[in-house]
Copies of this chain bind each other. A is one copy, B any other.
Amino acid sequence: MKRLGVMLSGRGSNFEAIADRIAEGKLAAEIAVVISNRPDAPGLEAARRRGLKAVSLPSRGLDREEYDRQTIAELKANNVDFVILAGYMRLLSATFIREFPLRVLNIHPSLLPAFTGLDAQHQAFDYGVRFSGCTVHFVDEHLDNGPIILQAAVPVECDDTAETLSARILQQEHRIYSEAIGIVVNGKFRVEGRRVVLS
């Protein structure tokens, strides 16, 4: 059973969706540890409620390399195979990425490469696209970059607000993140250039 280390900074709704899939027996993996860089992240409390190991590792005042050394140590101490970013609001250092090559996953609420960075749903809404969505990708040291594992597309309706669009995207996030984790932990892919070919 592959061991997941979840990293989050907020409510961790994607973390909860993944934990649900595991509990339902739909994703064969186990959550070894949940780490937050924000001590008050509601996702930490959610992890505790589920009886999972929850670690608060404050990042305040630490530079990236210094902080990443701490998270790497914590992940390794818990024998983590894959790192799952679930609303983790920090860029990872190259050192971190090298420790877990093709083993760090992120989800982003847009059809990348469109609308990187913060508030992607609002960016998409304000741009006036007719379709947006979400993307699960391998993480590299650049923002919202790295080979794409899965995406889901959703329509933007004329009576949408940024909030109704965000809710529609979030539903798909909860679906495809677990599906992508399943693909990766089972090794059912290869990478060609920056394309992830599923097998």
| Interface, chain A (partner B; CB < 8 A) | 111-115, 125-131, 133, 135, 147-148, 150-151, 153, 158, 193-198
Given the known inter-chain contacts A158-B198, A198-B158, please indicate yes or no for A111 contacting B131, CB distance below 8 A.
yes
The minimal Cβ–Cβ distance linking A73 to chain B, given in whole angstroms, is 32
Residue of B nearest to A113 (CB): B114
Which residues does chain B contribute within 8 Å of A197, judged by CB atoms?
158
Pick 24 A–B contacts, CB within 8 A, sort by A. Answer: A111-B111, A111-B114, A111-B129, A112-B129, A113-B114, A113-B115, A113-B127, A113-B129, A125-B195, A126-B193, A126-B195, A127-B148, A127-B194, A127-B195, A128-B148, A128-B194, A128-B195, A128-B196, A129-B148, A130-B151, A131-B131, A131-B151, A131-B153, A153-B153
The minimal Cβ–Cβ distance linking A197 to chain B, given in whole angstroms, is 6
Besides the known contacts A113-B115, A114-B114, 11 further A-B residue pairs in the complex with CB atoms under 8 A apart: A111-B131, A113-B129, A125-B195, A127-B148, A127-B195, A128-B195, A130-B148, A130-B151, A131-B131, A131-B153, A153-B153
Distance, CA A131 to CA B155, complexed state (A):
12
Which of A125, A127, A150 has its CB near the most chain B CB atoms (within 10 A)? A127
The minimal Cβ–Cβ distance linking A126 to chain B, given in whole angstroms, is 6
Distance, CA A198 to CA B157, complexed state (A):
10
* Contact assessment for A147 and B128 in the assembled complex, using a CB-CB cutoff below 8 Å: yes
